A and B are shown apart, each in its own frame.
Chain A
Amino acid sequence: MALRIVVLTKPVPDPAAAAERLGPDGRLDRAASPAVINGNDEYTLEAALKLADSMGAEVTLLSMAPPTGVETMRKGLAMGAHRGVLVTDPALAGADGWSTVQVLAAALRTLEYDLVLAGFDTSDGVGGVVGAGIATLLKLPLLSSAAKIEPNADAGTVRVRRISPTGFDVLEAPMPALIVGTQLLGEPRYPSLKGIMAARSKEVVTKSLADLGLDAAAFGGAAARTKVTGTTKPPARGATQVVRGTPEEGAKAIADLLASRRLI
């Protein structure tokens, strides 16, 4: 039987649009900016699609997002994912990491899977806790910082190369398991034109909190355990120095500069 992989994909403000805006509560105004799939999630999706290409796999996208999340998901479907599940509920506006973990875990309980793939972190929240949180709640083995994913469907195990400060650790766990990926998994593919056409007819199932048997009052923004107490803009970038010349000249100039600052 083909491997069943669920890839967590979060819609985040499109970095290229540079239109992010904070609401009065200090949280992101999600209507202000066009959304795209979180960059790191595209790397784990790519890993899932490579497995689908090489050994056959059913790839399901799972998002918790406003209703427009369906459109954001189309790109993942155009890249080659087979279907999508979107958990959306007005009560979820302002949900924090804790709620996100609970809700996604509840959604995963309704799905059948061998692997759940999560991105390293998101470009908007930058929490990096959701994957580990879900693994904890669902009592799944957690394989983090994955640079390579090698499932063995017959043995029912998965092997992961985890990057470490000194190189790689090779981890193995029984499936189902949750894997947190890194960008070393490989550059995400561009959707093909055929993929874009096919995405139109792929199924995206929408679920509310009630559909998941969850109490809206216990999970949404109202129940958030973290509060944004203040926000500040990062300081403006200092003057930049542009190095020109041949690659050799450029490399030497940069090395000299770093050395003069005692950085190398």
Chain B
Amino acid sequence: MDFDLSTEHALLRSTIRDFMESEVAPVVEEHEREHRFPVEVVRRLGEMGWLGIPIPEDEGGAGMDTLSYAIAIEEIGRVWGSLGLIVAAHTSLGCGPLHLAGTKEQKDRYLIPMASGKVIGAYGLTEPGAGSDAGGTRTTARLESDTNGAGGEWVIDGSKRFITNAGQAGTYIITARTGTKEGGGAEISAFILPADTPGFRVVRIEDKLGLHASATGELAFDRCRVPAENLLGERGDGFRTFLKILDGGRISIAALALGLAQAAYDAAVPYAQTREQFGKPIGSFQGVAFMIADMATEIEAARALVWKSAWLKDQGRDYSLVAAQAKLFASEVSSRVTNAAIQVHGGYGYVTEYPVERFLRDAKLTEIGEGTSQVQRLVIARKILGLRIG
């Protein structure tokens, strides 16, 4: 048993922290205020190899482990939640499915440019009628055989909602119904959709509570044609693939939640030490001190879960239960801690002059994206009880 980070992990952590604090922190406020996607920052991250951390080197990535990736997302999120989400969605949801299910040709053509940071990726699963219930997917893909004898084309129709990196991505991985299974359920398959496919449009970008510099958008497919070889994985395998992808993605959302909580805590501690009322630092009042104690304890516990889930994945062990626990716990800790940080700051926490109100607005998403807290509890309880729980 060893709780110390290895020298490499510690070095990765300090490198990312240095870079985020010196190079990125100064531009956060303006991008958030203007709801502007950080094109330039993302380009630099790509050059530095940060957009494919856990993807193998021969697939364009840095070939590091899941723990490295979790550390990176935490450190990015600690300075800028939006950037953390951009990187997490690109890596886990954009690159992840290609790494998991892509053929050699698909990896060469699509994954290498993404994992090496030249093309941003996005993942479209959610639809207006298919949120927690991904089986409700209405988008369809129909195979049209080619009269010339080639493999034919998939014709995709439908729409997606709440898609991170919409409008910025060069490659979208999307899910669509390709038929009906024997039992009557939807046969769902995954497809690679280049952003320049005719008939594909980003209909709009959402206005959100937080994460203002990350783009969340609605996608529309109007008779989009992609070649047969853009089917990702086996036909009908879309559901299985995305369950696996979400397992891994949860670790990154948990890490993002942790980063936001850490940021709020890092702001609250010195504030409690230096803000004086009644002639004393407010941290000397038990009501404030105990908030700090709880924040520190919950963050510590959340990090232990996040790191454990990453470690299990790196060991090749079953990590889906712990990843769901990490996502559930870290996201709820994040909301509590970022909320408490505002309380510690009083009125100064509620105004935008201090960054703590942003941390709360950003943290809330982590309880919703990649499976709501309720869905995490379902996943966890089903695994434990072995019962069908609805």
Which residues in A have some Cβ–Cβ distance to B below 8 Å?
A: 36, 71, 74-75, 78, 190-194, 196-197, 199-200
Evaluate contact between B49 and A192: CB separation under 8 angstroms: yes
Complex: A190 Cα to B7 Cα, angstroms: 16
Residue B8 CB within 8 A of the other chain? yes
- Against A, the Cβ 8 Å flags (1 = close, 0 = not) of B10-23 are 11101100110000
Is the Cβ of A193 less than 8 Å from the Cβ of B48? yes
Task: Establish whether residues A196 and B11, one from each chain, have CB atoms under 8 Å apart when the complex forms.
Answer: yes
What is the CB-to-nearest-CB distance from A252 to chain B, in angstroms, rounded to a whole number? 22
Query: Can you list 6 A-B pairs with a CB-CB distance of less than 8 A?
Result: A74-B11, A190-B18, A194-B49, A197-B63, A199-B8, A199-B11
Kindly list chain B residues whose C-beta atoms are within 8 Å of the C-beta of A75. Answer: 11, 14-15
Number of A-B contacts (CB under 8 A): 40
Taking each of A36, A194, A196, A199, which has the highest tally of chain B beta carbons within 10 Å of its own beta carbon? A196
Is B53 on the interface with A (CB-CB < 8 A)?
Answer: yes
Q: Please report the C-alpha to C-alpha distance between residue A193 and residue B11 in the assembled complex, in whole angstroms.
A: 10
Which chain A residues border B63 with CB–CB below 8 Å? 197
Among B7, B10, B14, B64, contact of A193 (Cβ-Cβ < 8 Å)? B64
Which residues of chain B come closer than 8 Å to A197, judged between CB atoms?
8, 62-64
- Contact between chains at B19 and A190 (CB < 8 Å): yes
Contacts of B19 in A (CB 8 A): 190
Interface of A is mostly: helix
Contact B12 A196 (CB under 8 A): yes
In contact, B8 and A200 (Cβ under 8 angstroms): yes
The reply to whether the CB of B329 lies closer than 8 angstroms to some CB of chain A is no
Q: For the A-B complex with A193-B12, A199-B8 known, give 16 more contacts whose Cβ atoms are closer than 8 Å.
A: A36-B14, A71-B7, A71-B10, A74-B11, A75-B11, A75-B14, A75-B15, A191-B15, A192-B48, A193-B49, A193-B53, A193-B64, A196-B12, A197-B8, A197-B63, A200-B8
> A37 to nearest B CB, angstroms?
11
Q: Which residues of chain B come closer than 8 Å to A36, judged between CB atoms? A: 14
Chain A's closest residue to B23 (CB) is A190
Contacts of A71 in B (CB 8 A): 7, 10
Contact B62 A190 (CB under 8 A): no
Query: Nearest CB to that of A73 among chain B residues?
Result: B7
Q: How far is the CA of A71 from the CA of B7 in the complex (A)?
A: 6
Q: For residues 44 through 60 of chain B, which have their beta carbon under 8 Å from a beta carbon of chain A?
A: 48-50, 53
Interchain CA distance A36-B48 in the complex, whole Å: 21
Specify which chain B residues have a CB less than 8 angstroms from the CB of A196 in the assembled complex. Answer: 8, 11-12, 15
Q: Is the CB of A194 within 8 A of B62?
A: yes
Residues on the A chain within 8 Å of B50, using CB: 193
Q: Chain A's nearest CB lies how many Å from the CB of B14?
A: 8
Nearest opposing residue in chain A for B48, CB measure: A192
**Chain A residue contacts of B64, Cβ below 8 A:** 193, 197
Minimum C-beta distance from A111 to chain B (A): 24
Contacts of B8 in A (CB 8 A): 74, 196-197, 199-200
**Chain B, 338-354, CB within 8 A of any chain A CB:** none
Query: Which residue from chain A places its CB closest to the CB of B6 in the assembled complex?
Result: A200
A200 to B48, CA, bound (A): 18
Residues 45-84 of B, flagged 1 when their CB comes within 8 A of A and 0 if not, give 0001110010000000011100000000000000000000
A193 to B19, CA, bound (A): 13
CB distance from B212 to the nearest CB of A (A): 23
With A190-B18, A192-B49, A193-B53 as given contacts, are A78 and B62 in contact (CB-CB < 8 Å)? no
Q: Judge whether A78 and B11 touch: CB under 8 Å.
A: yes
Q: Residue on B with the closest CB to A200?
A: B8
Cα A200 to Cα B19 in complex, Å, equals 21
Compute how far the CA of A36 lies from the CA of B62 in the bound complex, rounded to whole angstroms: 24
| Closest chain B CB from A180 CB (angstroms) | 25
